[in-house]
Structure 1
Amino acid sequence: MAPGGSACKEVLESYSTDYDVAMAKLDNNSTPTRATTGSGGKQGIYSTNGVHELLECPVCTCLMYPPIHQCPNGHTLCSNCKIRVLNCCPTCRYDLGNIRCLALEKVAESLELPCTYQSLGCNDIFPYYSKLKHEQHCRFRPYNCPYAGSECSVTGDIPTLVAHLKDDHKVDMHDGCTFNHRYVKSNPHEVENATWMLTVFNCFGRQFCLHFEAFQLGMAPVYMAFLRFMGDENEAKKFSYSLEVGANGRKLIWQGIPRSIRDSHKKVRDSQDGLIIQRNLALYFSGAEREELKLRVTGRIWKEE
């Protein structure tokens, strides 16, 4: 480590250097523009001249938010990466200590940046410290692939995911707002490895995912069918659906609102927000021999006025 006195001098100089570099970039490049933001925005510097690059963590390359740390030589990094590098500066190998880069945090206050999802349709511009919160709930942020039964990492907008489900997961695609599906399982007693089935319906110009699966609910094996909407929650609430299964003069009926694919498949399943059929009743619906599962699930989707 550098001696205490020189370390203090270096730290003071690094604060000045960070601020001077940031201001110099503002002066030497194109004149910063001031842009009107969406809700919660304020006036500030909306610049594409590279100042925001100072705020990129050299380890994870993400934008840094307070506390921004620096080593005695002025190299900066984010608080998460400070832990990852074991408190050792990845640039000069000095111990990081607990030095805050207040100058860089102050520079960040003056910046306004476009939403990360600008290319997907979001035209809002936000103060630096509001941008992250907005992006966590931005309606233009990509959706996760709704396919269940595999760890699929694909993300994208709805048309991209529809094509992905069809081409890569070979999911059945149907047009119409009513359906009549038959599910057959040769060994209904085995549910240790969950069985998933997914069908996509194009209805009212939107897409809906019909899930059917077997899993353990506590100690009891059950079957469950539910619908998810390929869009945001506020749009999903504009629709309703019903599911019906039965035989031998008996039936189960479920009616609900489709869940958005913003909610993970596991979250919807674990909340039991759908038609649940106990195994004994499912076998009763399947026929007297009870040797295989044969369930016919009918349903309807409609739009609420």
Structure 2
Amino acid sequence: MGNRVADLHSLTTFQELLKCPVCFNFMPSPIYQCHNGHTLCSSCKARVLNKCPTCRHQLGDIRCLALEKMAESLQLHCKYEEFGCPEIIPYHTKLMHEDSCNFRPYSCPWYGCPCSAVGDIPLLVSHLTDYHKAVMLYGCKFELEFLIEDLYKCQSYKWDVTIINCFDKHFCLHAEAFLIGSTPVYMAFLSLIGNQAEAGNYSYSLEIGGNGRKLTFEGIPRSIRESKRSSLESADSLIVLGGMAFSLGGETRMPMLRVLGRIWKAQIPG
């Protein structure tokens, strides 16, 4: 028992030696050191203007080869272990793994205002309903109405998120209104609070209709890690331009876009 505790203490001490004193992340190769033996990572070396952050002496291009060699044999738990990641990763691939780890926490998908909330799926769902007051709907078929506001008279950007609880998953229906130049654009798309591999198991349709007209879109939901940027760049969403929105919404003082949606499990090729 005593030897095991000593081994764990030695491992913890070694891991601390591998952390950069500037960014506090594990240092990938190359690892640099000053003449007094203080180390830092290559990314931070340029940030500190080539001066050691510990003793303030001038840095050169001295590599700490001993520390780099010792790190090669080290294997570490993913930093998202607390979120469920079971992986134990070789030291030099740790950062690469964590950049794309499926268990890394999700950022808040309420793009209409700056929000720094991050967390796992239950925390994020609670955050959306409690803080942003997002409405939660249950079932794989849904119907919503969105007020078509005059973007010239109000603000030039509007955003809304509705949570759809379906197949024991949480999807976000995003509705956005914005101006491109002088043209109003109304956009809607679906994303999954989950990773992209899970999102690919589902398909969805959105239908906007009124006054004898109808627009329909079918697609695959994206992960909330990438949904807005990717949907804008690929036009992978239901988009209604300018006067068409008012035509579909009705010639009234407060026109509404009526959206019918459906989510189903995609057919996976055998």
Fold equivalence (TM over 0.5): yes
**Given that residues 205 and 263 in structure 2 are in contact (C-alpha distance below 8 angstroms), is that contact kept between their aligned partners in structure 1?**
yes
CA distance in 2, matches of 1:48, 1:106: 15
Alignment of 1:7-26 (within 5 A): none
User: What is the Cα-based RMSD across aligned positions, in Å?
Assistant: 2.2
Which amino acid in 1 is paired with 2:165?
A: N
8 Å contact kept, 1:192–1:216? no
Alignment correspondent of 1:89: 52
TM-score between the two structures when normalised by the length of structure 1: 0.81
* Range with greater deviation from structure 2 (202-211 or 240-249): 240-249
Where do 1:162-181 residues align within 5 Å?
162-181=125-144
Q: 1:83 to 1:288 in 2, by over 3 A?
A: same
1:301 aligns with 2:246: no
Residue aligning to 1:200: 163
Point out where structure 1 has 5 or more consecutive residues left out of the alignment.
1-25, 33-46
The CA distance in 2 between the partners of 1:237 and 1:218, in whole Å, is: 34
Q: Aligned partners of 2:99, 2:249: CA distance in 1, in Å?
A: 45
On the 8 A contact 1:188/1:293 being kept in 2, the answer is no
Structure 1 counterpart of 2:178, from 212, 215, 231 = 215
1:9 aligned partner: none
Alpha carbons of structure 1 residues 70 and 279: separation in structure 2 relative to 1, 3 Å: same
Q: CA deviation at 1:111?
A: 0.8
- Could you tell me which residue of structure 1 aligns to residue 228 of structure 2? 265
Q: What amino acid does structure 1 have at the position aligned with 2:6?
A: N
Structure 2 match to 1:237: 200
Alignment map for 1:18-167 (pairs within 5 Å): 29-30=6-7, 48-167=11-130
Whether the aligned pair in 1 keeps the contact of 2:187 and 2:237 (CA below 8 Å) is yes
SS in 1 for 2:43: helix
CA contact (8 A) 1:237 1:257 kept: yes
Which stretch of the first structure deviates more once superposed, 181-190 or 156-165?
A: 181-190
- Secondary structure class of the residue paired with 1:50: helix
Equivalent residue letter for 1:29: A
Aligned to 1:29, what secondary structure does the other structure show? helix
- 1:58 deviates by 1.0
| Contact in 2 for aligned 1:67/1:78 (Cα 8 Å) | yes
Amino acid at match of 2:219: G
Farther-moved stretch of structure 1 (209-218 vs 100-109): 209-218
Q: Which amino acid aligns with 2:176?
A: E
Deviation string, structure 1 residues 66-90 (Cα, Å, up to 9, x no partner): 1111111111111121111111111
* Percent identity between the two aligned chains: 52
Q: Which residue identity lines up with residue 172 of structure 1 in the other structure?
A: V
CA offset digits 1:97-149 (Å, max 9, x no partner): 11111111111111111111111111221111121111122111111111121
Aligned amino acid, residue 69 of structure 1 = Y
**Distance change in 2, residues 1:208/1:28 (3 Å):** closer
Following TM superposition, by how much is the alpha carbon of 1:214 offset from its aligned partner in structure 2, in angstroms? 0.8
Output one character per residue of 1:167-201: Cα deviation in whole Å (capped at 9) or x when no partner: 11111111111111111134244576210111001
Deviation at 1:292, TM superposition (A): 4.3
CA gap 1:267/1:218 in 2 versus in 1, 3 angstroms: farther
> SS in structure 2 opposite 1:224?
strand
The gaps in structure 2 that reach 5 residues or longer are none
Aligned residues: 265
Give, in angstroms, the shift of residue 236 of structure 1. Answer: 0.8
Q: 2:39, 2:151 → 1: CA distance? A: 58
Say whether the 8 Å CA contact 1:191–1:215 is kept in structure 2. no
